[in-house]
Amino acid sequence: AWGAPAPAAWWTLFRNPALDALMARAIAGHPSLDAQLAAIMQAEQQLAAVRGEQLPSAGLSLGAERATLNQYGYAAGPLGNYVSNFYSGAVKINYLLDLFGGRRRSIEGYQANLDYQRNLLDAAALSLTTSLGTAAINSASLREQIAATDALVANEEAQLAQIARRNALGGVSRGEVLRQEAQVAATRATLPALRQQLALAEHLLAVLSNRAPADAEPSMLQLADFNLPAALPVQLPSAMVEQRPDIRAARAQLHQASAQIGVAAAKALPSFMVSASYGKSSGKFHDLFSDSASGWSLLGGLTQPLFNGGALSAERRAAEAAYRQAAAEYRLTVLNALQNVADALSQLDGDGDAVRLSAEQLRVAQASLDFTGKRYAAGAVDFNALLADQQTYQRARIDLIRASARRKVDIVALFKALGGGWLDIKSSTDGSIAYHGQ
Whether the predicted pLDDT of 438 surpasses 70: no
Q: Would you say the C-alpha torsion 67, 72, 73, 74 has a positive or negative sign?
A: positive
Q: What would the DSSP string read from start to end of 222-278?
A: -GGGSPPPSS--PPPHHHHHHH-HHHHHHHHHHHHHHHHHHHHHHHTS-EEEEEEEE
pLDDT of residue 89: 80
pLDDT of residue 326: 93
Q: Rounded to whole angstroms, how far apart are CA atoms 277 and 298?
A: 7
Domains present along the chain, CATH in parentheses: 10-55+100-270+314-434 (1.20.1600.10)
Q: 50 versus 242: which is more confidently predicted?
A: 50
Whether the predicted pLDDT of 1 surpasses 50: no
Q: Would you place residue 38 in the very low, low, confident or very high pLDDT band (cuts 50, 70, 90)? A: very high
pLDDT, mean over the chain: 84
CA 132 to chain centre: 12
Q: Would you say the C-alpha torsion 306, 309, 310, 311 has a positive or negative sign?
A: negative
pLDDT of residue 288: 66
Of 359, 395, 372, 390, the C-alpha closest to 186 is 395
pLDDT of residue 418: 84
Which of 136-140, 172-176, 333-337 has the highest mean predicted lDDT (pLDDT)? 136-140
pLDDT of residue 259: 92
On the 0-12 / 13-18 / 19+ scale of CB atoms within 10 A, 395 is: middle
Neighbours of 11 (CB within 10 A): 21
Q: 320 versus 4: which is more confidently predicted?
A: 320
User: Which of 63-72, 267-276, 330-339 bottoms out in mean pLDDT, i.e. has the lowest?
Assistant: 63-72
Q: 281 versus 140: which is more confidently predicted?
A: 140
pLDDT of residue 234: 61
On the 0-12 / 13-18 / 19+ scale of CB atoms within 10 A, 76 is: exposed
Task: List pLDDT tens digits, range 272-301.
Answer: 888 888 877 777 776 667 767 777 788 888
Q: How far is CA 351 from CA 289, 324, 364, 404, 407, in A?
A: 88, 40, 20, 8, 5
pLDDT of residue 268: 84
pLDDT > 90: percent of the chain: 40
Task: List pLDDT tens digits, range 375-427.
Answer: 887 888 877 888 889 889 999 999 999 999 999 999 999 888 888 765 554 44
Whether the predicted pLDDT of 16 surpasses 80: yes
pLDDT of residue 88: 80
Q: 305 versus 328: which is more confidently predicted?
A: 328
pLDDT of residue 306: 83
| Mean pLDDT, residues 253-268 | 90
Identify residue 59 by its one-letter amino acid code.
G
Which of 101-105, 201-205, 299-303, 309-313 has the highest mean predicted lDDT (pLDDT)? 201-205
Q: Rounded to whole angstroms, how far apart are CA atoms 168 and 24?
A: 60
| Mean pLDDT, residues 25-51 | 91
Q: How far is CA 393 from CA 157, 367, 384, in A?
A: 16, 9, 14
Whether the predicted pLDDT of 184 surpasses 60: yes
Q: Would you place residue 20 in the very low, low, confident or very high pLDDT band (cuts 50, 70, 90)? A: very high
Q: Would you say the C-alpha torsion 112, 114, 119, 124 has a positive or negative sign?
A: positive
pLDDT of residue 81: 59
Cβ 438 vs Cβ 430: under 8 Å? no
Which of 15-29, 131-145, 288-302, 374-388 has the highest mean predicted lDDT (pLDDT)? 131-145
Q: Would you place residue 3 in the very low, low, confident or very high pLDDT band (cuts 50, 70, 90)? A: very low
| Mean pLDDT, residues 177-195 | 92
What radius of gyration, in Å, describes the C-alpha atoms of the chain?
38
Task: List pLDDT tens digits, range 52-98.
Answer: 888 888 888 888 887 776 655 444 445 555 677 777 888 888 888 88
